[in-house]
Chain A
């Protein structure tokens, strides 16, 4: 457990380090699309940070191959109401951002939809009115994952109904069952005790949702390629679910430990109260950042290694870069599982702490 958290910490620090370092050059680039095929033969340096961050970020279209992208619906709300249009209207023939005239004049600036003035400059004041709930690449990928999950697990559930419970699991069912049992026996039971069954649907859903998104994120081409579980909004949404479930199910003892820690002198109780209240929020935040940083770091690492070939401008560099990429990708497969497990496990741990009933406090024993 200790080595795991140390590793997570290292990965987080490393990824943040890369992000910090990349800021300067990222701020300088003008937001245009970067493709290795375009840049490698040019005289200018290949923009690695731009290339990597372009991948790690969300998009309004889904890049398929070469210059072909799958346009996705853009849904925005302004003070003039909702608007839905295809993202293809926001990019021109050469994939450069163009102005689309809807209720306002919209243009993609660094991947964000902004309102522009007649002269093409960004109108920051009006842009604040834009509330973007587009089906972006990540959202589309998430819908795909949803369909995949529903298809997989309803077919597995049907397999149980068809073959009955007395026969051994077959096919995909025999792959899924040990994982479900793993979640039940290694995640739910140790932390939730006899109440584990209530939280199994939540833990299973969160585990498989994260895991399959981590795996799809590692697929470099179309159905995969979205960095959903490495997006902080996604991990935040999941952490909010854990936060809500923890605090809705929190027993009297849980709240008592937060606001008035039993068995301590009054001064200490007052001192601990803000720390404990802070802890309530830090737990989901740590969940958010852990998953986001781990997965993003993995993507950045893989992309960096691939980029080595273009940095050195030599095919020979692939002799080193490809084995390293394969090695890191395999590690990322492990990390994908591990992070799903850690997220589910920590959620179970937090829920377990909230629903635990304490009996022995020895409040009468003075603490000197």
Chain B
């Protein structure tokens, strides 16, 4: 049989016993003094790294939150500023419009008063003028009449002329 012929595939009991013993010792010694502390250390390191990553993520999220808060505040401030500006503009416009209105009214009033006073003065001047013209006319007419009434022929002629004029009308 093959197993009987070839020494290579025939397990040597001595080596089998030593191998078993060696492996048991290794398993015990390495298990106690090597694998346990090494696995513990690696586990702790991995936990530490995971914790660090988690903390970093958390901080990142917080930072993002903070940033968005800031932006929100900024946007609110901007909006407020715009509102204040627009209100100020409205007030300014109103003030200008009011002033314009007032000035216009004032101007109109002054104008009206001026017109009135001019009218009054004009009237006074007219009355005065009328009076003077009347007295002048009366004076001239008196002089004319005085001269005309000296000549009879001329008087008749004038009457004739007047009557003709009436006919023509």
Contact = CB atoms under 8 A, between A and B. Distances in A.
A237 B23 contact: yes
A153 B30 contact: yes
**Chain A interface, DSSP helix/strand/loop, else mixed:** helix
Contact of A154 (B15, B20, B27, B33): B33
B34 A139 contact: no
A238 interface: yes
A52 to B, nearest CB: 11
B14 A234 contact: no
Interface in A110-124: 110-112
B1 interface: no
A273 interface: no
B19 A201 contact: no
Contact of A138 (B6, B15, B27, B33): B15
Interface stretch (A155-163, A276-284, A338-346): A155-163
A221 interface: no
Given A165-B44, A233-B12, A241 B23 contact: yes
Interface residues of B, number: 36
A142 interface: yes
A238 B8 CA distance: 17
A146 B26 contact: yes
B84 to A, nearest CB: 55
A205 B27 contact: yes
A56 B5 CA distance: 16
Nearest to B34: A153
Interface in A324-359: none
14 contacts: A23-B5, A132-B14, A133-B13, A139-B14, A142-B19, A149-B26, A153-B38, A157-B38, A165-B45, A204-B35, A205-B31, A233-B11, A233-B19, A296-B8
